[in-house]
Structure formats: C-alpha cells, structure tokens
Structure 1
Amino acid sequence: MSKLLLSSMPVYDCSWLDDDSTISGDKKTNKYTPFFEPVVNTFGDGGYSPHVSYHYNPVVSRYHYGVRHPMKPFRCMLTDHLVIGYKLYEQMDLYMPRAATRKELLEFHSEDYIKFLESVTPENAHKYGEQLTKFNINDDNPVFQGMYDYCKLYAGASLDASRKLVSGMSDIAINWSGGLHHAKKYAPSGFCYVNDIVLAALNLLRVFPRVLYIDIDLHHGDGVQEAFYLTDRVMTVSFHKYDGWFFPATGNYDETGIGSGKHFALNVPLRDGIDDESYVRLFKSIMEKVITKFQPSVIIQQCGADSLGHDRLGGFNLNIKAHGECVKFIKSFGIPMLCVGGGGYTPRNVSRLWCYETSVMTNMHLRSELPGNLPFRSFFGPDYSLHPELGGKIKNKNTREYLENIRCHALENLRYLDSAPSVSMQEIPPDIQNMDDDEEDAIVSRLNKESERDHYMNEQRYWISAKEDAGPGELLE
C-alpha cells in the first residue's frame, strides 16, 4: 500500500515577478509571495480542474547504470527538488509508493526473465554466460548494482498511480520515474528492463474499457506497441524520430496492428530538427481525431524528454513549453490520465520539463526564474531559468509536404475506425491493491488497533488538559 507523505517542506524566499519585470516587491513581500499563481480556467482549456496525485519513491534516484551510461536516474531527484522548490506539492496528493511484487511483474514479463533479473549481479554476471546474450545484456542494458530493486520501484510507482485512477482517488496520476517503454516481455531493451507502462495498462484494463497510449518520446514506443499489437482495447500512438536505422528502427507509418488490433497502432515518424510550431500543430490535428474516434476511458501519456532540443541523444528542436503544450492539449479533454516519464539524457532539462508539466497538470503558472535556495541549483546555470532556449540547434528536415503526407497517412488509418470498440466486462476484476484476503484482514486488524489506541490517547489528553485548565477550588466530574 502507498503511504501519504506528511513530511514538512522547506519554505524559500522568492519573488513572483521575473527579473525582466518593471515592477519589484520589497523583501517582506517577496518572502510571502508564492512561486506560482493559479491559471484561470478558460473555455479553451476545457475549464478542467483535476485532482492530481504525485507518486515518487526517492530511493529510485540512488541507482546508477554506470559512469558512461547516458541514463541517469538522479534526474528524478532533480525533478522532485524543483517540484518542492516551486511548492507544487501544495496542489497535489503525495504518495511514496511501494515496490512492485514479483507476482505483479509476472503479469506481463516471463518467469525465466524475472528470475534472471532477481539473481544476476555485477559480481556473479560472469557465471551466466549464454544467458547474458539471451536476455540482451550489453552496453545499453548493463547489469548494475540493485537493478532488480530499481525495476520494482519504478514499476511499483506506475502501478500505484494506476490504482489511484481505478479507485477514483485521482483524475491525473504522475510518476516521472516510469515510462520505460522499450522493455519486452522476455528481455530488456533501450535502457528499459521492466515495462511499467504495460503493467499499468493491464491494471487499468481491469476496470476501464479502452486505454489510449500516447508517446512523445524521441524514440518509438516499440515495447508498448508490441504488447498490445493484437488488441483493440489499447490504442497506441507514437510521435518519434524515424529514418530506418535510428533506435529501435521501428515505428514507420505502415505499422498499424494485426488481427483485432488492426488500425489500433498509429505511428507518426518524424525527421531530424522538427520545431515547436510544426510539432504542436501536427500533434493536435492527429490527436483530436484519435480521441474522437477511439473514445478512450483512460489515457497513458508518456512524456519522454529526449524529444527536447539539446538532448544528449536527441535530434529535435522542441522547447519545454511546446512539449508541455501537447500534454496540456490531452489534459483538456478531461479524461483520467496517467503521466509517466521516459527518455531524457540531459538531466537539467529533463527535470525542468517534468516540473513544468507538473504545473500544467495542476493548473499553475510558474515564474521563469528558478527558486534561489534550490538544491543543486548550479546544475541549471548559467541562465537559472525554467525555460532556456533549446531550439534551432539542428536543421529542420521536416518539410511541409512531408508533414502533410504523414498527417494524411495517420488520418487515413483512423478512417477505418468506424466507432469505438465495445467491451463486454463479464468477470469481476480482482482487488485493485493486489492483496489476498489474509493480507487485507491483517491490515484491517492493524488499523482497528491503531484507531482504538488513538481514541484512548485522545481521552487521556482531554482529561489532562481539563485538569490543567481548572481553576482553584473547581471540581471536575
């Protein structure tokens, strides 16, 4: 079970107004001025004020793929510092999720693969010989210390977020440590070992008839597409770089699904250097049609940050606001949504993006200048801004003709979807917390004992307080 975080958060001096403003406040005013202000809902925004939950276990940021490896889990820690620094925690329910269990991982992954993840370590890896090749262990997917625990933590956070959506406790649930969309049933791929997105989607399908998966990572979401390639209950849509060889070398527009899943996989292959205006226009024109046609009951939005400009492995020219505009557009439909992270290999920009998109979810507008007392603030120099200029580094090879052609291919694929697929829900879904009766009875018993103890202590505090307040000569009944 997840535990609500109740720890006190630091308070930082700040000025709401940015440095380029012509108005400034005095020191006392700045001290009590928040880092954010609410966004006034308009008709264009859908007037939607969702209940947002934030799922983060700080232990996940302590793991390390290796000195030269581009994947840096500590980017989640930087993101969390920004969320705390801007005081966005005041606008959300905060949860420290538990790690996923072995049984939960086996809902998608094969038993021999999970057994391998459990047992292999950097110290004993040499004993596994051919199994390392079988399970795709290489420079991209190394064996590192605590690998299995790391997988359980980020997968557990996505499962916890999905449970909050299933129970109706959240309208939008956020897990920035998740989004590892390349992992396959039998092997890791592209820095991803366990596919938390597929696990969360399977949990959502217990209750929601249709799940829409949207991927705006630089890389094609091949692991999720492969998992649901034969079904019409999950529609996968991926916007990504594609040139026939760029990893994972899949995701051309002709990959549309098989059997019952035919036309329920939609790919938007893009070339190097796409800019903000082109990307956002294309995204909105396609996704509006997708949501209208498919009519999803819940959405999983993968917000990979490697599609930003200046990313270590990137090839696009997107700025943070443009990336966030895509997420804001999907949010405006008012459909329950799970937001996960994904790629992103320049940690300072990854954390900026995910903090900004957290503010989008919570309907808050953040000041551009980063908080002054932010831990690791030196990472964000020299501008110390939430919105550095990231575009224009790479030549845009996406001509108007090419983008229009891709759009037409996507809309032609949607033409075959006459109506949203109906679903016959015959079996009662199992308990959403994935606990057996004995575990649930033990938890209820413990909570009852705690409640009785709290009631007794409250009575004792009342009589102690009453005696202290009584005046000389007064009697207490």
Structure 2
Amino acid sequence: MSKRRVTYYYDPDVGAFTYGLTHPMKPQRMRATHELLIAYDMLPKMHVLRAKRASAETMTRFHTDEYVQFLSRVTPENAPQLSYSGTRFLVGEDNPAFDGVFEFCSISAGGSLAAAHRLMNGQTDIAINWAGGLHHAKKREASGFCYVNDIVLAILEMLRTVPRVLYIDIDCHHGDGVEEAFYTTNRVMTCSFHKFGEYFPGTGTLDDRGRGKGRGYAVNVPLKDGVTDEAYRSVFEPVIDKILDVFQPSAIVLQCGADSLSGDKLGCLNLTMQGHASCVQYIRKKNIPLMLLGGGGYTVKNVARTWTYETACALGIEDDIDLNMPWNEYFEWFGPRYRLEVPASNMEDMNLRDNSLNRVRETALRYLSELRPAPSVGLQDVPRESVGEHLGVGDAYEQGPLDDLDEKLARESPLPNIHAILPDPRAPGHTRFVYNLQEKAAQPADSDSEYDSDTSLARTRARSGPARHGKKRMSLLTGECFDVPRPPPEGYDLGCGHEPWPQSDIPAQGMKRRFFPSAARWEYALDRHLAERERAGMRNGRVDVGALMMNGGAVERARTAELGEEMDVDAEDD
C-alpha cells in the first residue's frame, strides 16, 4: 500500500471535559485513543499538530450569532434562564450545559478547520481529527450530543478552494445536521449509511434526496438492526463507486462514528472493528484528499480500539501492528482480552429479511444514475467591497444598496478624518477616485424557482419548515419524540444579545444582518435588568418580601406595568 502523508490533530485538554457522570458521551475516549497511538508508536509516523481553537466569530460561518453567543455564556447555573427552560438552543436532556462547553466546541471545530485548511493547501494527503465529527448540530440549536457542527464548518472552508466535496457518514445515526446544511446545493454530496426506523433522529429515508439545485445530491442508505460486515460492504462499495463516478469530488470527508460497532451502548448494528475500518481502507485507495473525523461511539474501549486501528489504516500499517495490546495508561480498560479487536455478536441481521438490503442498494444506485454528471463551478465574482469599507471610513452599520452608499460617500468627500487615514496631499479626492474605479453591484439573476436562487432569502424559504406552533424533536437517549413549545417573546433580548425589534423598526427582508453586536451592550442590558430585579426583591424567580417592603416594590411595579403584568404584594405599614 502506497505511503500517504498523514496529519493528526490532538488537543491534550479535550479529555478533561465531561457531559456528566451518567451521560453516555465521554470526551475521554479521545484521550484513550491518543494513549493507544502512543503505545503503538504511531505518532512519529504522522505530523502531529495542536490546532488553533475556533473563535466564536468563526463558528458564525454556519451557526447563528445568537446561538454562538449563547454557547459562549451558558453555564450549568444559568442554562435554564438562557435556554428558556430547554425550549431554545439546548432542547431536551441530550445536550446538557456542562462546564466548558464552548471550549470543548472550539477544540472540536478548530481541529476540523485546521485539517481542512491543511488539506486544501496540499500539505497533507489525509488529515485526522477524532475530536470532530459532531454531525447532528443544527444552525441554531444543539442536537444529539452535538453543539457546533465542525463538519459543516470544515466543508465550507474546503469549498473556498475546490468545486465539490463528498461527505460520507458511517455513524449508526443519520447525519442530519450536515445533510440539512447542504440540502439545496450541488457542490456538496452527502451520503449517510445509518439505522432507520424508530430511531434517532428519525430522518434519512431513501427519498430524502435534496431540494432545488441539490436534488439528488443527498444520498441516504437506511439500514435495519444487526447489519454485518459482509452486508455492509455489499452496499457501501457499489454506492460509493457510483458516487465517485458521477460526482467526481475534489475532497472527501469521512465521518467514522463508532456507534455502528457491535456492542455499542446506543447502537444496534453488528460491525466488527475490521468491517468498520474497511470503509477507511476503501476510501484511502481512491487517492483523493481525505479527512477522517470521529463522531458517535459510546462504548469507550471499543471506540479507542477502532480509531487507533483506523489511524493505522490511514498510515497503511494495519497489517504490521500487533493485535495484542501493548501497555498504556488505559490498559485495564481493555480487559479481559487486552486485544485490538471488536468481534461481532450473534444478533440477527434484519436486513436479510424480505431482500430489503438489495432493494435499498438498487434504489440508491438508480437514483444516482438519474443524476447529472459532476457539476462544474464557474468563476465567481468576488463580493464587492464598499468605498467606505475599503478606506476604513464611514458608518459600518449604514444600510442600503452599495451603489447608493458609495455615491453618497464620494459626494461628501473630503471627509473630516481622511487625513488621519490617508496623509497623502491628494487624499481629499481619493474617495472619488476609488468610487470611479468601482463596478456596479451585481444584481441577483432572475429565476423561475425560488430554490434555484442563491440569495439568502431563497435559502431561508427553502429551509424553513411549515411548523409555526411548535417543534418536534426526538431524544437520542430515550428514542422518544417530544414537542418543544415556542418560548414566550418577552425577555428574548436577555438571551440573544439584542432587544426585540420595535414593530416600526423591523428591518426589511434581504437587509444584511450584522453579526456580533457589542458585548458591552449585552452585558449592560442583562446586568441592569438583574440589578432592578434584585433591588425590587426578585431574585431567581423568588420574592424577597423583606426587600419588597423596604423598597416599596416601586421598581418591580414599574417593571410589571411596562410589561402589562399584575403583581399583588401585601405589606403592612407599621
């Protein structure tokens, strides 16, 4: 097997986080994997790097600014208040607000972003980030133990350089978060092999194929309980071959969720370690830039075994390593066999009943045959920079068409502060000079279908669901569906960093929303509100009668009068 350049990203702090003692998600599995790699002496064979942690601003390339601000502020103590008792951002019991949740997300996302950047620069052939692969996270909420979707962020980084990216998901659960993010584009093809039925997240049927331009670029292979290595390989290889032939990706992202292994606490498939790793071996042989990410996996010792073996597959040394495990820091965890193996169980393969697996494979291949060959990506115009932004002057928050704003700025030149920025004597006329060089702002092309438009409004319409009275979610822990009520509108500014828009000031559709309002503004509004409540005797929803009597309830009465509420406070005068 040919030698490939492999880069491995690891942050020593990742194993220090915990979702909680009883939660099945254990970040310590990344540290156990790292210790096994050390024991097998694989680190000298790779370029080992510690990635720069992703910033909040970087996360907003996919996630909303309100959600990222929430993650940066949430703690176990204030989670009920900021998430409106679990109705916003953190929905259900699957996603606890543990200590350091934002730091954990920044490590995961930072590793995947660094891996994508290194792959696109041609500095490596295979990049590994076992802390990544959190494929359930949505644009504005956590889901399935996932808070920040590092996969989407990494693919978006790749699309800056290459025209097409293929995402393959071999986790036991459907990769709904990644599919949803790219459901309307033909530049990313998502392919998920997963358990389907009364099972989290309840999505990923054969007919979920994308929408608009992305029609046919979402491939789902739903499986039943107990799929074995042979059955899995019989559907994986022909589907991937057809995708590579039709789509011709420039890079591949492979999510190696280990909950599809036999004996996983939350999984229900029956793959061995070798069967799971055969997917890595098969993709590696295609000689396409490859990113390997982690994902699910809740039997920690089997996760560490499998990801160690798959790292060896990336290096091409899987036939040379000893399956008898060498001593390591977690050696006692791997008893009683102390071997690098995950055997299959005797569970029945339900996919062989009624020839269901063959029907799934034939349907998936038929859908791919109907797809147009690899879409080409033409040259894209660089988004135009306004004159004010180019010169570093003007009001950054001023709204309106770029042409009108630039013309206004040019007419008002010379500017009062232009000499401080441009000390050249010709500076007063420089603004008009730059304005004359600018091309007119491009107008969006007309389209017969709203889903064929690249405008943000069309994407919003394409992805918005019909539900207006609540949302339905499924729990990964229990498998039960539950309704999530809409949170009350009042007080929304406390969790999102800005006050609600007055009815008369609601911005028109299509206006650019500014990310990351001033943190000081958010702090001031929150602290002022909490101080008012404390002075009035209201603290964490409880009434301090003594404080109310001392202050006469004046502040709280003014507050409740403003909100149109009533509060009766009985106090006796001495």
CA displacement at 1:127 relative to structure 2: 2.9
Name the counterpart of 1:208: 162
228, 232, 236: which is aligned to 2:190? Answer: 236
Structure 1 residues 103 and 129, CA, compared in 2 at 3 Å: closer, same or farther? closer
CA displacement at 1:428 relative to structure 2: 6.5
Percent identical residues: 47
1:109-146 deviation line (CA, Å, top 9, x unaligned): 00010111111101222333626311133310011000
- Determine if the alignment matches structure 1 residue 138 to structure 2 residue 92: yes
Structure 2 unaligned regions, length at least 5: 384-574
130, 137, 154: which is aligned to 2:108? Answer: 154
1:18-48 deviation line (CA, Å, top 9, x unaligned): xxxxxxxxxxxxxxxxxxxxxxx2xxxxxx3
Name the counterpart of 1:459: none
CA displacement at 1:49 relative to structure 2: 2.2
Structure 2 counterpart of 1:190, one-letter code = G
* Structure 1 outlier segments of 4+, above 3 Å: none
C-alpha contact 2:113 2:154 (8 A) present in aligned 1: yes
1:71-130 deviation line (CA, Å, top 9, x unaligned): 000000000001111011121100011110111100000001011111110122233362
Stretch of structure 1 that moved more, 349-358 or 133-142: 133-142
Name the counterpart of 2:29: 75
Name the counterpart of 2:366: 412
C-alpha contact 1:66 1:144 (8 A) present in aligned 2: yes
For the residues of structure 1 that align with 2:65 and 2:58, how far apart are their CA atoms? 11
C-alpha contact 2:225 2:350 (8 A) present in aligned 1: yes
C-alpha contact 1:76 1:177 (8 A) present in aligned 2: yes
C-alpha contact 2:83 2:89 (8 A) present in aligned 1: no
| Corresponding residue SS for 1:133 | coil
For the residues of structure 1 that align with 2:274 and 2:10, how far apart are their CA atoms? 23
358, 361, 364: which is aligned to 2:314? Answer: 361
For the residues of structure 1 that align with 2:83 and 2:12, how far apart are their CA atoms? 34
Structure 1 counterpart of 2:31, one-letter code = M
Name the counterpart of 2:444: none
CA displacement at 1:425 relative to structure 2: 3.4
255, 266, 277: which is aligned to 2:208? Answer: 255
| Corresponding residue SS for 1:292 | helix
For the residues of structure 2 that align with 1:175 and 1:110, how far apart are their CA atoms? 24
- Determine if the alignment matches structure 1 residue 383 to structure 2 residue 341: no
Name the counterpart of 2:245: 292
| Corresponding residue SS for 2:87 | helix
For the residues of structure 1 that align with 2:80 and 2:56, how far apart are their CA atoms? 24
| Corresponding residue SS for 1:200 | helix
Name the counterpart of 1:325: 278
Structure 2 counterpart of 1:350, one-letter code = V
1:334-383 deviation line (CA, Å, top 9, x unaligned): 00011100000000000000000000000113111011x31110000000
- Determine if the alignment matches structure 1 residue 58 to structure 2 residue 39: no
C-alpha contact 1:309 1:393 (8 A) present in aligned 2: no
C-alpha contact 1:377 1:384 (8 A) present in aligned 2: yes
Stretch of structure 1 that moved more, 180-189 or 415-424: 415-424
Aligned residue pairs: how many? 380
Name the counterpart of 1:167: 121
| Corresponding residue SS for 1:267 | strand
Structure 2 counterpart of 1:347, one-letter code = V
- Determine if the alignment matches structure 1 residue 340 to structure 2 residue 293: yes
Structure 1 unaligned regions, length at least 5: 1-40, 42-47, 430-477
TM-score, reference length from structure 2:
0.65
TM-score, reference length from structure 1:
0.78
Structure 2 counterpart of 1:328, one-letter code = Q
| Corresponding residue SS for 1:325 | helix
For the residues of structure 2 that align with 1:189 and 1:63, how far apart are their CA atoms? 18
C-alpha contact 1:137 1:143 (8 A) present in aligned 2: no
Greater relative CO (CA pairs within 8 A, separation 6+): 1
For the residues of structure 1 that align with 2:97 and 2:224, how far apart are their CA atoms? 33
Name the counterpart of 1:312: 265
- Determine if the alignment matches structure 1 residue 49 to structure 2 residue 3: yes
C-alpha contact 2:262 2:342 (8 A) present in aligned 1: no
| Corresponding residue SS for 2:219 | strand
1:376-421 deviation line (CA, Å, top 9, x unaligned): 10000000000142x1242210116111100111011101223100
Structure 1 residues 141 and 129, CA, compared in 2 at 3 Å: closer, same or farther? closer
Larger Rg: 2
Structure 1 counterpart of 2:84, one-letter code = E
